[in-house]
Structure 1
Amino acid sequence: MHVSERLLQLYADVDASTRTNLQTLIKQNLGDGKSLTVSFEELTGATKASLPTDEKSAADFTAWIKDGKKDVTFLPYYVSLLEKHDRVLNKEATVPQPIAVDKTVVNETTADTASEKTPQSAAPAPKPRYVPETSVPSRAERAKRIEPARPRKKKGKWLGGLLLVLVLLGGGYIGYPYVAALFEPSETAEVETTTPEPEPVAEAPAVTEVWLTEKNVDLVSEPNGTNVTYTGDIGDRYDVLEERDDHVLLDLGVDDMNAWAPMESVTTDWKPFTLSDQQVLNFLQTGVDQTYLDSTTVDDYLSFSESELYEVLGQPYGRDDDALNDYAFYNGIFFVIQDEAVHAIDWTNTPTTKEAFKQLGRPVYETEDAIVFESPKYSLRMFVGENGTSTRIRVTEI
């Protein structure tokens, strides 16, 4: 298998997060410049003599990724690392462990050293005993000097008791009415309080959604205007913001963009899905060109960012854009890119006729030049060309 085909196969097997981590390690290893053979050996621990010995830097590798991987010097080096991505990403560096220090030994040594250096303090000298200047008199002499206690007068005792009785009698006379009032039932009528009921809050009307019912619908900047903001397709779903003059204002869902659609080109009556997700995928395996589905599935494409799409398929043959989307054209297929991510895939000039397409089941919506099928996850649509023979098939996630 050619190395470029092997790269496409690896992109189908290795998820985007793993590829991004691998590319980051490659840039860190290459740095300002290094032989690709040496870099491969450092990253994998293995040697590969068939790799080029050219010196490349991280800047060269970044430019190679952005340029669509056209430089054949990097290609075998990058593919070989992708094949060994598990070994590269799981490789661990050996870090020497710090030497543990026995704190007990250090502390004991320090303590011994400190004890050797610290001089022993001398025993304190005994303090001299206190000798009074005059002799202390004996207990008998002290007893002679103590005078007998005088008897206490009892007059103040009965005066204090009389005063206490008078205070109690006066306090009882004054406080009686207040104490009695505590035991009497209250004659005050209870006043009933009523809590006012809260006023009803007006609920905002639910946002109404509509679907376009024609293959090409001009969405204009004002009702009955001629300035076309965007051209929508049958099956496109939008939220309604306002209704005026037989027109509805639609939220286009990108950068707060709005546009008006005529009421005759929209409907709120949209049937539920009639196909399973697997029926949609089975049809895409036979009803459209398989050139770009060999190594990458429809689910992969619909989950790609714009840059991931270009990493897998390279730069497109042509580009176009409008108010909402960018379009990347390849041979027989183009990708609708919205907010820098793949939004839909369109196969052009398909061999499938309208009659063959209708054999899938009951359409969700059908017109003379368009048919819409839906499953829980996908919207599958066919647009019939003006000549009535060529058809375009689109798949997008709902």
Structure 2
Amino acid sequence: MHVSERLLQLYADTNAATRTKLQDTIKQNLGDGKSLSKSFEELTGSTPKALPTEEKSAVDFAAWIKDGKKDATFLPYYVSLLEMHEDVLNKEATVPQSTPIDKTVVKGTPIVDKASVPTPEPTVVETSKAEDKTHAPKQRYMPETPVPSRAERAKYQRTIEPAKPRRKSGKWIGILFLLALFIGGGYIGYPYVMDLLEPKQETKVVEETPKPDPEPVVQEPETNYVWLASKNVNLVSEPNGTTVTYIGDIGDRYEILKEQDEHVEVNLDGTTAWVPLDSVTSDWPTRDLTDSALLDWVNTNMNNDWLGESVHGFFAMNEAALTETIGAPYGRETDTLNAYAFYNGGFFVIQDDKVHAIDWTNTQTTREVFSPLGEPVLETDDAVVYESETYSLRLFEGTNGQTRVRLTEK
């Protein structure tokens, strides 16, 4: 049987108290350090079979027990002692007794026990009460020189004259001081006395009506926007992602949410998407183009026969009103942001159930036709953007020579 299996069997056969007592005996025997074979021989009285001669201490053994008995050095030593635990615990330790030391002589010098030497009591000297009460008689004072007689002393004494009465000049000085004080006080206090005697005019207190506090002005946080600077921009679900959430066109404006990894996250009316920074611009100039001038250009240069109504009137319609006005579309599509109603000649972009833009498709309109409108807001190789206060007018050039014109309400 392997030594580790023997240890498990012995742990099952012996109780914890016996194992603890055996471990304490081993620690006491190992002490500061000795070989395991010698320790086994001292504890059991028998020669070990094959144990290490390496010296181990009680501290090493305690650490081995605490560490979970992982070190193989102590394992055969401990298992052998555990198998013979009854002999080890019942064996009386033979420790030589030290010779008692004689207290009386150390190196030839006698030692006297302090307890046997009586302590001398202090001698109490009593003084008789009679000696305390007796006093030596006081000697009478004898002057060194004789005291002169009364007649002789009278020769040297001066004649005491009666005291002269005090002069009364101090009284007049006090009276003059009080008089000057009274006159000076009257001169100083005269204006105050006259002010008290004059009738006072009642002061009218005008109560002012408190003005109401101005209502606090709620400052709305500044919203940052970006505009798409190129045609057909893919807005993806995550930075550097491939899943397209929405395809935007040049001139589309979006609210910025945050920026990350050379992309900017924008708000798409309830959802969000990411657009590369090189496809947007935050510098969007304004022009002096008026709404009327822009609408006049549309009515003059675009084919509006399929509309049958004034162009700007469609932007107030929802999809139901649009269908009632010009009939049902021949096709309808939706994406993340918009719905599209297709008619012969163009289509409507419907956002939040309201007409947001009108597109004229398959036109032959060129960018030179836009020149009467002045300088564009943004221009690229395949697109151009004009804006007034309310509307945005854009031209998209295709690769086949056909163009598309979009009128959007901002």
Q: TM-score of the superposition, structure 1-length normalised?
A: 0.47
Q: TM-score of the superposition, structure 2-length normalised?
A: 0.45
More relative contact order, 1 or 2 (CA 8 Å, 6+ apart) = 1
